[in-house]
A and B are shown apart, each in its own frame.
Chain A
Amino acid sequence: MTGETTAALLLLADGRLPAGGHAHSGGLEPSVAADRVRDVASLETFLRGRAVTSGLLAAAFAASACAAVLAGDNGRLGVLEEELDARQPSPVLRQTSRKLGRQLVRAMRVIRPHDCWAGLGRSPHHPIVLGAAAAVSGLRPYAAALAAVHDAVAGPATAAVRLLGLDPFATHAALARLGPLLDAIAADAERYADADPAHLPAGSAPLLDLAAEHHATWEVRLFAS
């Protein structure tokens, strides 16, 4: 990563980016309700499980989308959309990913105007938009992957403070301990930047799928997902 683009990455990965991510707990809310996550230790294990499955998935698709936009290969984005759909069996998670993607496109159209936004369709998947956002921010696929896997754990970690009343310092300490794992996942994801989309990671997390479906049936919830 060069010095000139580091600030662009921080902007993209900042939780204060107005793209609606703060309203989602990444499956933590139903996991807390089912008493599967109850303290910092079980939160940290949850985050590790999430990082290596849906986190790596998002990172690899973001890296691949970033490479596609850098190469001006917009056709590849459509293939990535199909492949990502096939890797998300939960209809609720597919819908959530598309909703977050739509919100990020809306923000990015103004933050970084670019031709690629017009070609992404009405509600593209979030990791694909994130990859494209990295590309138009002058970032490389590794940075796109890092932003995606960071996003996969930072959201649930912050949600844990609100849902369980955990000590925010202890929660961030858990995030800090995850650092080397996130770096390794981003490096792994970067290897897929130019790979055949059919070969991208497909790590499944059955409990995340099932928790999302349960959560969607609740009448009252704090987070959208």
Chain B
Amino acid sequence: MRAAAALGVEAVALRGGAVRSRVATLRSQAPLMLRLTHPKGPEPWTRLGDGAARVCLAAGAAGPIGGDAYALDIQVGDGSTLVLREISASLLLPGPLGGQSTLHTTARVGAGATLVWLPEPMIAARGCHHLTDVQVDLAAGARLVLREELLLGRHGEQPGDVVARLRIRLDGRPLLHQDLALGPAAVGWNSAAVTGGRRALGSLVVVDPAWADDPPPPTLVGDTAAVLPLPGPAALVSALADDALQLRACMDAGLALLTASSEDRRPGVAS
């Protein structure tokens, strides 16, 4: 199955100087179904009634299964705020012909814009063959929260092959580029250098221009999780855990560390 979806948000100036973010593009194609939603749970940086646009991605079919090619394009216009979440975890499954499933996502976040993107975990089922490729382009002054979680197999299951690629550029320059290859086809993936036998991996990137001269310090969050300041106004929470719950706890702890204080340092987007 091939599917392409697009989501675009733009800032609309209201009387009194406030700004509301309007969803200008909302193009779904099964199984990538985009829906306007109310807040799904606690969100960093935003508050109810602050004019942020909220969208959830729902799966309109099983998968992705081997052979599927999905593309998602996200545009967050200058000065606007988008909170993008996902309804449920996605289960990566093998296809009938052994092909690779792919999900290519591109996101462009304009000047002074904010993208909070909190997808649910990807679960790499036995025999899957999947590539997730995320390319984020941030304009100068853009803010980002991006979480990625990967579970290696369902309960008691050996995972298939999965590659998770992430490239974030800030003002045209590389900020973070990670290419994680796991599963039977990846040499040494289960070794003490890569996963050490842990079944849940996550990363959470926060980019906040307010940090330009004051990046958050490296912080250990337990034995196999840490906050890592990146070479720029950004930090990565990198975590390995035994299961999805432990992983989410690490991600939440890291997110709280990285977004709690910055709200106070910045004027509100709108209220």
Q: Say whether A and B bind each other.
A: yes
Helix, strand, loop or mixed for chain B's interface?
A: strand
Contact A86 B194 (CB under 8 A): no
A103 contacts partner chain B, Cβ-Cβ < 8 Å: no
A202 interfacial by beta-carbon distance below 8 Å: yes
| Chain B stretch 125-151: residues in CB contact (< 8 A) with chain A | none
Check if A89 is an interface residue, CB within 8 A of chain B.
yes
**Which residue on A lies nearest to B224, using beta carbons?**
A210
State whether A52 and B220 are in contact (beta carbons under 8 Å apart), knowing that A86-B231, A89-B176 are contacts in the complex.
no
**Looking across the interface, which residue of chain B has its beta carbon closest to that of A184?**
B187
Give chain B interface residues in 79-107, CB to chain A under 8 Å: none
**How far, in angstroms, from A208 to B192 measured CA to CA in the complex?**
8
> Between A and B, how many residue pairs show CB distances below 8 Å?
121
- Closest residue of chain A to B189 (Cβ to Cβ) is A49
Q: Contact residues of B with A, CB < 8 Å?
A: 165, 167-168, 173-181, 186-196, 201, 203, 218, 220, 223-226, 228-231, 236, 238, 240
B191 touches A46 (CB 8 A): yes
Asked whether, in the complex, the Cβ of A210 is within 8 Å of the Cβ of B189, the reply is no
Interface size on A, residues (CB 8 A): 42
Assuming the A-B contacts A82-B174, A83-B174, are A205 and B238 also in contact, with contact meaning beta carbons closer than 8 angstroms in the complex? no
Question: Are B177 and A83 in contact, CB atoms less than 8 angstroms apart?
Answer: yes
Instruction: Select B179's contact among A31, A47, A204, beta carbons within 8 Å.
Output: A204
Q: Which of A1-9, A10-18, A34-42, A65-73 contacts the other chain?
A: A34-42
Give the chain B neighbours of A206 by CB distance below 8 A. Answer: 180, 194-195, 201, 203, 238, 240
Could you tell me the distance between the alpha carbons of A222 and B240 in the complex, rounded to whole angstroms?
Answer: 26
- Does A50 lie within 8 Å of B240, measured CB to CB? no
Known contacts A89-B176, A204-B179; is-contact A45 B188 (Cβ 8 Å): yes
**Contact call B180/A207, Cβ cutoff below 8 A:** no
Evaluate whether A207 and B190 lie within 8 angstroms (CB atoms) in the complex, with A36-B196, A90-B228, A213-B228 already known.
Answer: no
